[in-house]
Amino acid sequence: MLKTILYLLWLPLLAQNPNGPSPEVRAKMEKQTAELQAILQKTPKSPLSQEAFKVIPPQAGWEMGMVSWVTSDKNGLVYLLQRGEKADPVVVVNKDGKVVRSWGKGMYTMPHAIRVDPQGNVWTTDAASSMVYKFSPDGKKLMEINIGGQPAPCRNNFCSTTDIAFAPNGHLFISDGYANARILEYTADGKKIREWGEPGTGPGQFRLPHSIQVDENGIVYVADRENGRIQRFDMQGKFLSEWDQYGKTFGLKLEKDAIWLSTQPRNLPNLSPGWLIKVDRKTGKILGYVEAAGNHGMDVMMNGTLLQAPGPNNGPPWIGVPQIYKKASNH
């Protein structure tokens, strides 16, 4: 099962480059990893304790599959987006691990990212169908956006949207990274404004834009995953700068004057051990980190607790175990 999961995660990249990276690119990846490890050795670890995120099955036969992404709301509820068939795709859990509600059965092909917007609404992306859904906190569908522009058929169910972010003016920014290499902007009511980006390694080009955030100043942060960098833009898509020292980043989450990265060494297979890294948004310098495995989606709760999914493997069948990183005062 583990080999199957890893193979499926690598398939989109094999389609782009079936022969794998060139010796020159591989050497660059290994150099970046060595430099990142050197930076981390000089950086204090964040004072957070790690434990598995507890979910109590609500009934017999209920079971989650791989949790692709995780988010939370201002009330401390945690929203999991999972890919198993024995539970609804969206699962909402309280601090005690009790499932308080769930929804979404039959709506998804490959659930990918889940986010809560400033108004408390819940948004999800599908990596295969090109559908973005907006829900009320109790699971009522409020809007859907069909991003479109995907190849048909969708090979291996990875060809579409990866993440969504919310700008200060209420606009939506969506990363579309598996078959395309673009960022799309929509109004709050789902009307498309513009798109930008193209395949490549230069400024404003992408190789799998996998996660996105927009800060209070309108700066757009994009995890350009397979290029091993975070690119920064204004809201019109003008390139501002990049951070190219933090490895293969899967997930981003703003926290006050910082941004957290869910990342791993660029030269290793997906879901290899890596880190959650806290970066100063103004300087791009590292502020702290914790070691992590099974990195993909992440979130920061209102009290500073970190959430990470799918998490490390806890034995077959391989689905990962989401993790929670708490401050000592939370115990």
Burial of 44 (0-12, 13-18, 19+ CB in 10 A): exposed
Q: For the whole model, what pTM was predicted?
A: 0.93
The two structure tokens encoding residue 132:
């973005």
DSSP tag of 23: H
Burial of 282 (0-12, 13-18, 19+ CB in 10 A): exposed
Alpha-carbon Rg for the chain, nearest whole angstrom, is 18
Determine how many CB atoms are found less than 10 A away from the CB of residue 194. Answer: 11
Hunting for tokens 């300087």 — which residue is that? 283
Cβ–Cβ < 8 Å for 72, 116: yes
Q: Residue 328 has what pLDDT?
A: 74
Q: Residue 86 has what pLDDT?
A: 96
The two structure tokens encoding residue 51:
């434990």
Say how far apart CA 185 and CA 109 lie, in whole Å: 23
Q: Residue 14 has what pLDDT?
A: 41
Name which of 136, 111, 134, 120 is nearest 187 in CA terms: 134
Q: Residue 230 has what pLDDT?
A: 98
Q: Residue 122 has what pLDDT?
A: 98
Tens-binned pLDDT, residue by residue, of the chain (331 aa): 333 344 344 444 444 455 678 888 899 999 999 999 999 999 999 999 999 999 999 999 999 999 999 999 999 999 999 999 999 999 999 999 999 999 999 999 999 999 999 999 999 999 999 999 999 999 999 999 999 999 888 989 999 999 999 999 999 999 999 999 999 999 999 999 999 999 999 999 999 999 999 999 999 999 999 999 999 999 999 999 999 999 999 999 999 999 999 999 999 999 899 999 999 999 999 999 999 999 999 999 999 999 999 999 865 566 799 999 998 764 4
- Length of the chain equals 331
Say how far apart CA 127 and CA 110 lie, in whole Å: 5
